[in-house]
A and B are shown apart, each in its own frame.
Chain A
Amino acid sequence: MISAQTLTKLYGDFTAVRGVTFDVAPGEILGLVGPNGAGKTTTLRCLAGIITPTEGTIAIAGHTMDDDPIAAKRALAFIPDEPHLFEYLSVEEHLRFIARMYGVPDVENRLPVLLAEMELSEKGRSLPGELSRGMRQKLAIACGLLHEPSALILDEPLTGLDPAGMRRMRATISARASRGAGVILSSHLLNLVEELCSKLLVLRQGECVAYGTMDEIIATHPELNGRSLEDVFLALTGESGEAS
């Protein structure tokens, strides 16, 4: 569903991402982890078509971002860590805009259901500036889910959500995957990654240091057997995690 082959992104002399390759099958959730500055956001932005990779190819639902970017983007939803909203559109207008953009059928029936699911029914006519941080995040999530994407890319999706919202979001991610969507989840919350993800991609300084299921990663690093994901992460990324 989501495929990246030898993905590389350079900014002048600086290498943000180098030669990263991975695949996400339908129904699979890939956890993308790494320390700050490892290249996670750059990778996600390349996948979403926001920035163009210097080298490598990206395919979403069989459409490559080079040859058929519109079909690729139509199959995709990218939910960034900070909600990207138009400050002059109300909640409902955002959803109508996205519905038209992605050709969503039956929008009149879907809107109230989605608004209720995100607890935004009372806020349909509110502008983003009148919403709390969590509500804006919920609106961004609603915009991402409205067109039933077959590929879902989430960057720190729980940021700003209340405990109930976090639980609902975890359930939504699992439900979307079980309905056949390929999901990439980038997060520093390792317990979330451990709970939801079937595969892991660990980045460090723009390079892939581990990729596969937890068992596959342990098989290549037997010294980590029996250790928690946090320990595995710290060992793979070379970070101590101890207070100075």
Chain B
Amino acid sequence: MNALLYLSWTSARNRFLGAFRRVRSPRYAAALIVGSLYIWSFLFRSPNRGATADFLLGRPSQTLITLLMVLTLAGAWVFGADVTALAFSQAEVSMLFPAPLSRRQLIGLKLFRSQIAVLINTLIWVFVLRRGGNLLPSPLRALSLWILFSTLNLHRLGAALVQAAWKQHGRIGARRNRYSIAAFAFIGLFIVAGLVVHRSSYLGRGIGEFFSGLSDVLSSQPATIGLYPFHLIVAPTFAHSIAEWRVAVLPAIGMFLLHVLWVMRTDAAFEDAAIEASAERARRIEAFRGRRSFGTITGPKAGRATLRLAAKGHPALAIFWKNMLCLQRTVQLRLFVGPLAMAIAFGAAVASAGGDTAGFVSVTSATFALMMVVFGGRLIRNDLRHDMLHLPMLKSLPVAPSHVVFAEVASAALPMAALQLVLVVISYFASLLASRQPIPASIRLAVVVASPVAVLAINGALITVQNGMAVLFPAWVRLGSGVSTGVEALGQNVLAMMANLVTLGIALIPPMIVAWTSVLFLNASRGLSLAFVLVVASIVLAIETYGAMLYLGRSLKRVEPLQTV
């Protein structure tokens, strides 16, 4: 057998056996059962037809996915490619880089290995889309998704290779890759031109017409010229019949093959970038085992603006201080662009009619605050999801484990809450100046009054859930400050986010009962009564969270570095 094939096969087999052995642990076995039931209830229930199918596989969804794909891929060119696309294991760097192998063989290995992730994600999404109806047989849908994910993966790798070449060769490298750069400039130009010229078709027309208007603009010239290659890749996935699929699949395969050709012909000297990315990945893995140094990270910015730490005080505050520095130096602001863009789009859709700038600001701020509830915990990770990499050091510190958990949860929850509170206040004052005020003033005031407590309680609960996953199932959770991106993380990210929200939903049941009971006794449809109900419900949630943090403290005391691998 070819040595690289042998390496891939034995690695995959041993990884599977390792995961299988891990399930022998009662905690992981229980989690697997609960997770399987959850996936079964979500994915395998009888498929819906009608409205759900229209939504999932309709033209607006296809347009949205195409646009998201453009934004994702363009992001790699505007903000810099994800260098982890080039990561190899440390053993591969040590043994394969000096071995008599060509760069193409190494890239071939990388592509072959990424197919495992692509296939898993294809499987997840086949079942997700299955709920949307039986418009297309599952094997055809699977093939379409495989083409889509493989092409995305190839593009991510191609972008990383091109940028590695830029870094390596400077302007010479940029000249060698001028066709890739020109292609994206061309695409972007046509999309932006379409959005600008036809902006009246989707702005200020209400949320219902916003997406259909946007879809119309993106389906007409000049945007279609720029979006054409992306439509080709996405079209088979959204085909509504076998005949439609037959027409769409060949161009998609063509795009896939073009990407294969592009990546395999990009003869970039990627070794430096790959070694850097590999070192970062190895650092995460090895550091967590407590066997290796943490000193080779390249992620944190070199900025030295520091925060003051008082010489005396509770030791747990030092952990909070440390994590604030971590946030300051590792947060990836570009990841906030997506939620912000969605909030702006929503604000534009519902409140930009008649030049109502105040209404636009109010809706956009409130939407962004709400989106931070969903996405914030994924973007701000300066808590145990990061510090579990430093478990040996964390456990040798003279601080009670429960205090460690409090400090860690606060490190992520407080910055998120601060951002959301600012947004809520902006939204409230902007709403006072808005020409249309669909929500009564007393309700808006009640929300603003209750928001400090409510926002803290919800963020605390959300971050506790995510930290709980890191402490209880460290082998299944991505650790470190980096946010997982790329095809290999697509399906898992969606499932993880939904699992977190479902857990939060369960945690919200007692507060909801208390809130409902309070409503019965108070006339909570009016101003301050509503604020009181929100505050009481938030306090109940905070008490639940406190109990969960104490439990996590006990779990943290028991968890050991070697158990976690």
> Are A11 and B562 in contact, CB atoms less than 8 angstroms apart?
yes
> Are A102 and B398 in contact, CB atoms less than 8 angstroms apart?
yes
Which residues of B are found within 8 Å of A84, using beta-carbon distances? 290, 293-294, 390, 392-393
13 new A-B contacts, CB < 8 A, other than A89-B322, A96-B309, are A49-B395, A49-B396, A50-B391, A73-B397, A82-B292, A84-B293, A84-B294, A88-B325, A97-B322, A101-B397, A102-B315, A102-B398, A136-B295
CB distance from B420 to the nearest CB of A (A): 24
Q: How many residues belonging to A are interface residues under a CB distance threshold of 8 Å?
A: 43
Which residues of B are found within 8 Å of A167, using beta-carbon distances? none
Which residues of chain A have a CB within 8 Å of any CB of chain B? 11, 45, 48-52, 69-71, 73-74, 76, 78, 80, 82-90, 93, 96-97, 99-105, 107-108, 125, 127-129, 131, 133, 136
CA distance A136 to B283 in the complex (A): 15
**B510 interface residue per 8 A CB criterion:** no
Q: Mark B285-326, 1 if CB is under 8 A from A, else 0.
A: 000001111111111101010100111110101100110011
CB distance from B565 to the nearest CB of A (A): 12
Which residues of B are found within 8 Å of A93, using beta-carbon distances? 306, 322, 325
> Are A50 and B300 in contact, CB atoms less than 8 angstroms apart?
no
> Are A88 and B300 in contact, CB atoms less than 8 angstroms apart?
yes
Partner of B295, one of A11, A70, A78, A83: A83
A-B contact pairs, 15 of them (CB 8 A): A49-B396, A50-B391, A50-B560, A69-B398, A73-B397, A85-B294, A88-B330, A88-B481, A96-B309, A97-B309, A97-B318, A99-B311, A101-B315, A102-B315, A103-B312
Which residues of chain B have a CB within 8 Å of any CB of chain A? 283, 290-300, 302, 304, 306, 309-313, 315, 317-318, 321-322, 325-326, 329-330, 390-393, 395-400, 481, 557-558, 560-562
> Are A90 and B304 in contact, CB atoms less than 8 angstroms apart?
yes
CB distance from B151 to the nearest CB of A (A): 35
Partner of A129, one of B291, B297, B315: B297
CB distance from A108 to the nearest CB of B (A): 8
Partner of B306, one of A74, A76, A90, A99: A90
Residue of B with least CB distance to A124: B304
> Are B558 and A86 in contact, CB atoms less than 8 angstroms apart?
no
> Are A131 and B295 in contact, CB atoms less than 8 angstroms apart?
yes
- Residue of A48, A93, A105 contacting most chain B CB atoms (<10 Å): A93
CA distance A156 to B283 in the complex (A): 21
CA distance A52 to B559 in the complex (A): 9
By secondary structure, the B interface counts as loop
> Are A97 and B321 in contact, CB atoms less than 8 angstroms apart?
yes
Which residues of B are found within 8 Å of A48, using beta-carbon distances? 395-396
CA distance A131 to B391 in the complex (A): 22
- Residue of B299, B322, B557 contacting most chain A CB atoms (<10 Å): B322
CA distance A131 to B294 in the complex (A): 11
| Interchain residue pairs A-B with the least CB separation, the first 9 | A87-B297, A73-B398, A100-B318, A128-B295, A74-B398, A84-B393, A88-B300, A136-B295, A88-B329
CA distance A11 to B564 in the complex (A): 12
> Are B313 and A128 in contact, CB atoms less than 8 angstroms apart?
no
- Residue of A71, A96, A99 contacting most chain B CB atoms (<10 Å): A96
CA distance A133 to B445 in the complex (A): 57
CA distance A90 to B301 in the complex (A): 11
> Are A100 and B315 in contact, CB atoms less than 8 angstroms apart?
yes
CA distance A83 to B562 in the complex (A): 18
> Are A78 and B396 in contact, CB atoms less than 8 angstroms apart?
yes
Question: Given A70-B399, A90-B306, are A129 and B298 also a contact pair (CB < 8 Å)?
Answer: yes
CA distance A80 to B393 in the complex (A): 10
Which residues of B are found within 8 Å of A103, using beta-carbon distances? 312, 315
> Are A101 and B318 in contact, CB atoms less than 8 angstroms apart?
yes
Which residues of A are found within 8 Å of B391, using beta-carbon distances? 50
Which residues of B are found within 8 Å of A102, using beta-carbon distances? 315, 398
